[in-house]
A and B are shown apart, each in its own frame.
Chain A
Amino acid sequence: MAIVSVKDVHKIYPLGKTEVLAVNGVSFDITAGDFISIAGPSGSGKSTILNMIGCIDTPTSGTVEIDGTLTSGMKDDDITRLRHRVVGFIFQSFNLVPVLNVYENIEFPMLLDKSTRGTKSERKEWIDYLVGEVGLDKWRDHKPNELSGGQRQRVAIARALVTKPQIVLADEPTANLDSVTGEAIIELMKKVNQDMGTTFIFSTHDQTIVDIADHVIRLKDGLIIKNERIG
């Protein structure tokens, strides 16, 4: 069953007096539970596609459906609610809230909507589990600036999973990490994918991710040059 359906999507950005065609008629489906890699060189359009799947950008033409909902034409509050319910984000630069500690950063998305808030004890139980899963038990009261890059990305993974989203989007998640840490992070995400059935969609240059993905989409100049399901 397709959790993401992209149909004939074009994206044009204005650049001064000219226009840049970032995505030039792309169509594909992503099945729930996939560990999918969108790969390609810089400027190939992978981040643009990731942004549109993450409902933080809209196509110039074509359609994007997330969990059966067409994202075009939605009001800001509605699309924010959809994003909060269905999508979790892992960013290249971790993007943690600097003034919150590890526990508070992970808790933060839960507090943004009634549907995920629950009781304080329910939240604590779930966050404690996630903190344990990402191996940060001893660091829960530390602020982001007191953590290493790998630790920060682990916090970001826990934060992305805390609202139990169906999809986690990861934009170059290992780009700012050394190779050992990067591999550990990928293993952690693969484990979550297998244990929780969460769909992971990566935009990446990292061959390690491409190697373990079960669905690879390769882009060049805004076009799909390869759409391959593995195994």
Chain B
Amino acid sequence: MENVLLKIALRNLLEHKTKSLIIGMLIMIGITILVVGNSFIDTAAKGIEENYISNYTGNIIVTSSEMEVPSLTMPMMSGDLEAATPIIPQYNEIKQYIETLPQVRNVAEQIDGLASIKWEEKGEGFSILFGVEPESYMRSFPDGITILEGQFLQVGEPGIILSKEVAQSLSDSANEEIKPGDKVLVTAMNGTSGTKIRELTIIGIHELKGSSPELEMVSYVDPENMRILNGITLNTIDSVDLSSDEEALLGSVDEDDLFGSDENSLFSETSNNEGEFVLDDWDSILGDTSIRDFYNVTNPDGWHFMMVRLNNIKDTDKTIAQLNNYFEEQDLEVKAWDWIDGAGMSAQLANTMKIAFNILIFIVAIVAVIIIMNTLVISVTERIGEIGTMRAIGARKGFVRMMITWETIIISVFFGLLGIALGAIIVGIMGAIGFTASNMFMQVLLGGTVFRPLLSLTAMGSSILVITLVGIIASLYPVSVALKISPVTAMNE
């Protein structure tokens, strides 16, 4: 019976060529858009995913649960600018637990910050700072960083590795090329301890693999200096007891007294009147840095992020759930996030674009269903007599249902495959030529300046799924119309 069904369906489609072509072209165009669009997005997303997981984020990011958004590259997005970026509590215990999990390959840690960078009086720039432990970081992300000049951070060595773009920006503003060995003033602001300034020696200049606009601004700093810049210290300033001399100093002078230029200034080298401060007195007070040193003792376990790399990407969701369960059971105020949450603008934008594209495809699919359905209904109503005759001479409802469904299947599969082939050709041509991202938005979206889309198996698979669904859904109503045709109509022909 299948043969006769197929024969009738096929010949009916050929008999009504115009209608078949209208439906077919619609399916073909829709599927071509789907294949090309999904291949674009999948290539971009896969590139971004591989790039980010391998080079910056790992598969899982662990932070304090106080952190609202675990953005590695946009630290200002991690929470309130006025508040300090929270550090991971009980860091050692958590790291120890994570490292015991068999699916975990490596764990690295990071402190984030934003800073302005000043090169003496020559030039100024701005940078995102990653404070990292060199050994664990390079073990986790061995291919992410290319050193262009100098070297990467060494264990226990203070300094900064500027990104190529930050170095270029400083060189441009100074009209002189900055190089390793030069010193820069790094000024960071944070919510707990206000502005912090550190002079750091440039150890190297680097370039990040598959860089995106925000990653191009990343410079690496040794963890000790990063903690000072972020105010991650063991001792916090709650209240200070002042000595009587200090109280007298702060209570008896005003700005004019301190910075005035008249001969009675506090900074005069000799004492004119008994009881006035002279430079020697200031030295005796400010020369003692013990209090400042006390409050500048950094917390060696203070980290904002822990980046976990897994042996197999497929274990990501399972491991996130496992970690969050453990944190909850142990009453730890810590949270494990998917890499995408911390990946920053590029990855999230690509993800958002994919969702938007899928919504668009959904709308296109609905329109296609309506048009195909409408055309099929017209086709069915034109064949009321024929279908009625079939029913009269012994065709059951199942036969009629299959006949209409076969028509839809044939047209969907034939033109769907044409659409896939056309889409594959377009993707192949664009992949060979290369797609140049002309503006920053496109660079962010495509993860680089030149983009070469690859035909995605997922795109082809989802196209076939869409064809099938569109075909099935579009045939439902015409089938129900056909099934309502009574055999009596054959008599009225």
Contact = CB atoms under 8 A, between A and B. Distances in A.
State whether these chains interact: yes
Interface of A: 47, 50-51, 54, 56-57, 76-77, 80-81, 83-84, 88-89, 91-93, 95, 97-100, 104, 107-109, 111-113, 117, 159-160, 163, 171
Contacts of B1: 111-112, 117
Nearest to A108: B4
Given A89-B393, A160-B393, 16 more contacts: A50-B491, A77-B396, A77-B397, A83-B393, A89-B490, A93-B385, A95-B386, A99-B7, A99-B15, A104-B7, A108-B4, A108-B393, A111-B4, A112-B1, A112-B395, A171-B491
Interface of B: 1, 4, 7-8, 11-12, 15, 385-386, 389-397, 399, 486-488, 490-491, 493
Contacts of A83: 392-394, 487
13 contacts: A47-B491, A56-B490, A80-B395, A83-B394, A89-B393, A92-B493, A99-B15, A100-B7, A108-B4, A112-B393, A112-B395, A159-B393, A160-B393
Contacts of B15: 98-99
A89 B396 contact: no
Nearest to B12: A99
Contact of A84 (B12, B393, B488): B393
A76 B400 CA distance: 13
A56 B491 contact: yes
Nearest to B11: A99
B10 to A, nearest CB: 9
Given A100-B8, A108-B4, A112-B396, A91 B488 contact: no
Contacts, number: 84
Contacts of A77: 396-397
B391 A80 contact: yes
Contact of B8 (A91, A99, A112): A99
A91 B390 contact: no
Contacts of A47: 491
Nearest to A83: B394
A-B pairs with lowest CB-CB distance, top 7: A84-B394, A99-B11, A56-B487, A95-B389, A112-B394, A93-B493, A109-B393
B67 to A, nearest CB: 65
A107 B491 CA distance: 21
Given A91-B493, A112-B1, A112-B399, A97 B392 contact: no
B490 A91 contact: yes
A97 B390 contact: yes
Contact of A91 (B11, B12, B389, B399): B389
A67 to B, nearest CB: 15
Contacts of A117: 1
B488 A57 contact: yes
A104 B11 CA distance: 13
A92 B493 CA distance: 8
A163 B393 CA distance: 10
By CB atoms of chain B within 10 A, which of A77, A80, A92 has the most? A80
A208 B211 CA distance: 94
B13 to A, nearest CB: 10
B491 A109 contact: no
B403 to A, nearest CB: 11
Given A47-B491, A171-B491, A56 B392 contact: yes
B306 to A, nearest CB: 66
Given A89-B490, A171-B491, A113 B386 contact: no
A116 to B, nearest CB: 8
A77 B396 CA distance: 6
Nearest to B1: A111
A83 to B, nearest CB: 6
Contacts of A51: 488, 491
A76 B395 CA distance: 11
